[in-house]
Amino acid sequence: MRVLLAQPRGFCAGVRRAVDALTCVVENHGPPIYVYHEIVHNTRVVEQFKNHGVRFVESLDDIPEGAVLMFSAHGVSPQIREEANARNLRVIDATCPLVEKVHQEVRRYVGLGYRIVYIGHPGHDEVIGIIGEAPEHISLVSNQSQVDELGFSARSKIACLMQTTLSVDETLEMLEKLKRRFPQIEISKTGNICYATQNRQKTVQQLTAGLTAGSDVALVVGSGNSSNSRRLCELAQTRGIKAFLIDGPENIEPNWFCGTETVLITAGASAPEEIVQSCLEHLKSHFDVTVEERLICEEHVQFPLPENLEGKKRKE
């Protein structure tokens, strides 16, 4: 069996920043430490922090006054920030800078009198935080039929923003439809889909082009609630490749590989590299494996840790 290791894969700069920040807080404060939502969408990462006394909450009512609170990489609404301040919580903000940029764009457009069409998945932590910036000014759409239901006039001031972890191809189709319906709509030249999401999707597109539909397999390391991981799995499946989203080697089934000559392994932006390696070792223990690393593009993005982080240092 030939195994293609996709590169880039795994942690993006925003996820690395959030994980490093929470690691520093654990080392410097000790439990209990509270995080609003999961720090990143990965089951293994969350469980490891739970084992070190970190408590993940969905309501600030579950946090005692004066406690240490970290906002996850997905960001929060202004209402949550105000509530945290009212409860005198010691807040460390691990919001990904690329998500924070979208929050800033919402505030700018609203200040200029625009209505915002926001492309995203309902219920996702990032989406909840963005809509919380100005719910009365934002229309959430997640598919093309919802674009048809928008009722703006030709004179409406409209801007389009989007979740950072969407499918690039599907989003482009929605943008084209929006531009046809509302020629006056303003869309960021660079878009809001983050570099890591785009790079991982581009890598899967290129590498699956060389696989055999119906027999070869793609393994995407990532959790089910990870939007960017799910998009990678769906992308491979649309190309006829048997693709599986897995949290780790315990999810791998031997019968997936009947007649398989090549397996592609990639990982979503919130999946640790050690899980990728453990999946690779699992395959080696069951098959005669040849490993090929396939670099499609390089990534050099780094974000500094939050300014108010005590004893901050970057973990290698």
In a domain, 308, yes or no: no
In a domain, 305, yes or no: no
- Final residue belonging to a domain, choices 49, 69, 95: 95
The CA distance from 241 to 228, in Å, is: 18
In a domain, 33, yes or no: yes
84 and 27 in a common domain: yes
State how many domains the chain has: 3
114 and 91 in a common domain: no
The CA distance from 193 to 14, in Å, is: 13
**Domain of 132?**
98-187
In a domain, 6, yes or no: yes
227 and 179 in a common domain: no
What are the CA-CA distances from residue 195 to residues 7, 60, 98 (Å)? 14, 32, 9
291 and 200 in a common domain: yes
CATH assignment of the domain containing 158: 3.40.1010.20
85 and 102 in a common domain: no
Query: What are the tens digits of pLDDT across the range 106-125?
Result: 999 999 999 999 999 999 99
Query: What are the tens digits of pLDDT across the range 43-80?
Result: 999 999 999 999 999 999 999 999 999 999 999 999 99
Alpha helices in 112-167 (DSSP H): 125-131, 144-148
**Positions marked catalytic:** 126
In a domain, 303, yes or no: no
- Final residue belonging to a domain, choices 169, 187, 205: 187
Task: Say what the pTM is.
Answer: 0.94
Query: What are the tens digits of pLDDT across the range 220-242?
Result: 999 999 999 999 999 999 999 99
Average confidence (pLDDT) over 154-173: 95
Is the per-residue pLDDT at 314 higher than 90? no
Is the per-residue pLDDT at 91 higher than 70? yes
pLDDT score for 316: 36
The CA distance from 74 to 37, in Å, is: 9
The CA distance from 261 to 83, in Å, is: 55
The single-letter DSSP state of residue 219 is E
pLDDT score for 309: 83
pLDDT score for 307: 86
* Residue 157 tokens, joined: 């001031």
Q: How many of the other CB atoms lie within 10 Å of CB of 166?
A: 25
Average confidence (pLDDT) over 182-186: 96
pLDDT score for 31: 87
In a domain, 314, yes or no: no
115 and 167 in a common domain: yes
The CA distance from 107 to 102, in Å, is: 9
The CA distance from 173 to 195, in Å, is: 19
Is the per-residue pLDDT at 315 higher than 50? no
In a domain, 306, yes or no: no
| Average pLDDT value for the chain | 95
- Sheet containing 138-141, strands listed edge to edge, beginning at the edge strand earlier in sequence: 138-141, 115-119, 158-162, 186-187
